[in-house]
Amino acid sequence: MKVEQISIFLENKPGGLSLVTKTLKDANINIRALTLADTSDFGILRLIVDHVDKAKKALKEAGLAVGLTHVVAVEVPDKPGGLNGIIEILSKAGVNVEYMYAFIERSGQNAVIIFRFDQVEQAIDVLLKNGVTVLPGEKVYSL
């Protein structure tokens, strides 16, 4: 039920992002979701792509520091209070969210949110028990 996310270390300088996007373009990789977190000196770009291993290999070959993290893709009802319902479930169970971001595509009538948890297994368990749909990797990569 886990999704593999690629993270890339980027210095805060012109041209940093373009190396990533160009590398992915040349490797014919499609970006499915992304978020950029930054400080004054550096940033971390997190990506969900259609072909994880191929993307990782290409980025490493381009000389970037690349990490692979397991995140969780959750279906969220696309209506007011949809995300709140999910967060309340996690909050009650004492599950901590490190960060989260929204997926570009929808899954049927639902939005998709990517969650990063410290305790991934526990989080998936809690979500499933509460009837939340957690999307498997293969489905997410090809949404």
Partner 1 sequence: MIYNEEFETLPREALESLKLNRLKQVSERVYHTVGFYKKAFDEVGVRPEDIKSLDDLKRLPFTTKQDLRDNYPYGMFAVPMSRIVRVHASSGTTGKATVVGYTKRDIDVWAELMARCFAAAGLTSHDIIHNAYGYGLFTGGLGVHYGAEKLGASVIPISGGSTKRQIMLLQDFGPTVLCCTPSFALHLAKVGEEMGVDMRTLKLRIGIFGGEPWTDKMKAEIEKKLNLKALDIYGLSEVMGPGVAMECIEARNGMHIFEDSFIVETIDPKTGQTLSPGEKGEMVFTTLTKEAFPLIRYRTRDISQLIVEPCKCGRTSVRMSKISGRSDDMVIVRGVNVFPSQVEEVIMKVEGLEPHYQLIVERQGTLDTLEVQIEVSEKIFSDEIRKLQVMEKKLTKDIKDYLGVIAKVKLVEPNSLQRVEGKTQKVIDKRKI
Binding region for partner 1 (CB under 8 A): 5, 7, 9-11, 16, 37-39, 41-42, 44, 46, 63-67, 69, 98-99, 116
Least Cα distance to 49 among 19, 4, 9 occurs for: 4
Tokens for 120?
């991934």
Of 51 and 70, CB closest to partner 1? 70
Of 48 and 107, CB closest to partner 1? 48
Of 54 and 77, CB closest to partner 1? 54
Question: Exposed, middle or buried: residue 82 (CB in 10 Å: 0-12, 13-18, 19+)?
Answer: middle
Tokens for 8?
């890339």
Question: Residue 77 CB, nearest distance to partner 1 (Å)?
Answer: 27
Question: Residue 90 CB, nearest distance to partner 1 (Å)?
Answer: 18
Is the alpha carbon torsion for 138, 100, 97, 16 positive or negative? Answer: positive
Question: Residue 45 CB, nearest distance to partner 1 (Å)?
Answer: 9
- CA-to-CA distance for 34 and 114, rounded, in angstroms? 10
Name residue 103's amino acid: F
Of 68 and 128, CB closest to partner 1? 68
- CA-to-CA distance for 9 and 11, rounded, in angstroms? 7
Question: Residue 56 CB, nearest distance to partner 1 (Å)?
Answer: 10
